[in-house]
Amino acid sequence: MVTTPSLAPDFPVLEAYRRMFLLRRFELKAQDLYRRGGMPGFIHLYVGEEASATGVCLHLRRDDYVSSTHRGHGHALAKGIPPRQVMAELFGKATGCSGGRGGSMHIYDPDAGFLGTNGLVAAGIPLAVGAALAGQLRGSGQVAVSFFGDGAVNHGAFHEGLNLASAWNLPIVFICENNLYATEMPFAKATRNPDVASRGAAYSMAAEAVDGNDVEQVWRAADRAVRRAREESRPTLVECRTYRHLGHHEGDPGTGYRTKEEVEAWKKQCPIAMLKARALESGAATEEQLKEIEKEVDAIVADAVEFAQSSASPDPATALDHIFPEAAGVESGRHA
Ligand SMILES: Cc1ncc(C[n+]2csc(CCOP(=O)(O)OP(=O)(O)O)c2C)c(N)n1
Ligand SMILES: [Mg+2]
């Protein structure tokens, strides 16, 4: 395992560890439950990429906005949606944050500023640009963050979004989680320029690349970017270089297009193990403190599962609710 120098005194090591550990345990539990057959739909797990959502969301206010991806459970949890509501949504239960209508790829919570996980690659980018514009018009100091993968950066929505954000000086942070593959397509084969951060120059936008498995590095880069957005109303592109430990989705073993050696090498760079080693080495945390956090998180995840499994499915009589906006004078779920 490669370790980097000791943690800076202002880095919130315990909170970072808590959030990353929650994201990891939540996903591994979801994987187990999915394999047992109780969870409908598709799930794409975030295991290995926890430092990115954590390092960024530690800087966000509750009323800041986040748009996410198909691999978005970690973004939802890091932005502050309660684990109970996220787990219940994965099970399609009425108590889920989208009332059980959404599932894994439509986790949505306006109260937490969460503009949704998203089944369409790159589709969260324009949503966040719009939210940043809204924040700018309100003068509220709200910031928008768009998380997306390397698979999104050759889409029109990425280029249009960055261009508009730059032209209108929007308070937004674009976070590319470059895990080197889009499904089974290696990023280096999909483009002649796999240096995502270099693309910021095309839009005269501040940009940097970081080790996306080093939560402190992500946290520092996100600090610069969120300040630039909040205080100067200017956008930033941050490329977090990372890797998914598991397959593309549950069901893909993730081995047909990646060598065992490559996967193992990245697992040795596990963001959680690296933070733990550095926290202990530097004396920023004790073994007991980290164990206590792990115990607390395990209890939270167990409670979320119990909550989700014991919740009711949505009542069929409400199938047409939430489809038409009440404000348009349309009675709940039915044409007037
Ligand atoms: C517009 C669109 N095209 C294709 C797909 C099918 N698809 C789902 S995930 C994915 C790969 C996404 O890769 P990336 O953006 O790098 O995210 P990662 O899965 O690596 O986290 C593709 C092609 C889709 N969901 N939406
Ligand atoms: Mg990818």
Residue 71 Cα to ligand 1 midpoint, Å, equals 9
Residues in the chain: 336
Question: Measured between alpha carbons, how far is 141 from 120 in angstroms, rounded to an integer?
Answer: 29
26-59 burial string, b = 16+ CB within 10 Å, else e? bbebbbebbeeeebeeebbbbbbbbbbbbbbbbb
Check residue 335 and give its pLDDT. 40
Q: Which amino acids bring their CB within 6 angstroms of ligand 1?
A: 70-71, 119-121, 149-152, 179, 181-183, 248
Q: What is the mean pLDDT of the chain?
A: 95
pLDDT tens sequence across 224-245: 999 999 999 999 999 999 999 9
pLDDT of residue 5 exceeding 70: no
Q: How far is the CA of 198 from the centre of ligand 2 (A)?
A: 17
Atom of ligand 1 nearest to the CA of 249: 19
pLDDT on residue 8? 87
Ligand nearest to the CA of 71: 1
Given pLDDT bands bounded at 50, 70 and 90, which one contains residue 38? confident
* Neighbouring C-beta atoms of residue 238, cutoff 10 Å: 27
Whether 10 and 16 have beta carbons less than 8 Å apart is answered as no
Q: What integer is the mean pLDDT of 243-263?
A: 96
Closest to 114 (Cα-Cα) out of 150, 153, 162, 82: 82
N- to C-terminal Cα separation, the chain: 63
- CA torsion angle 244 250 252 254 (round to 10): 20
Alpha carbon of 182 to ligand 1 centroid (Å) = 6
List pLDDT tens digits, range 45-97: 999 999 999 999 999 999 999 999 999 999 999 999 999 999 999 999 999 99
CA 114 – CA 77 distance, rounded (Å): 10
C-alpha of residue 233 to centroid of ligand 1, in Å: 30
Give the pLDDT confidence of 279-294 residue by residue, as tens digits: 999 999 999 999 999 9
Please determine, for residue 252, whether its predicted confidence score (pLDDT) is greater than 70: yes
- Give residue 223's pLDDT: 98
Give the pLDDT confidence score for residue 4 in this predicted structure.
Answer: 52
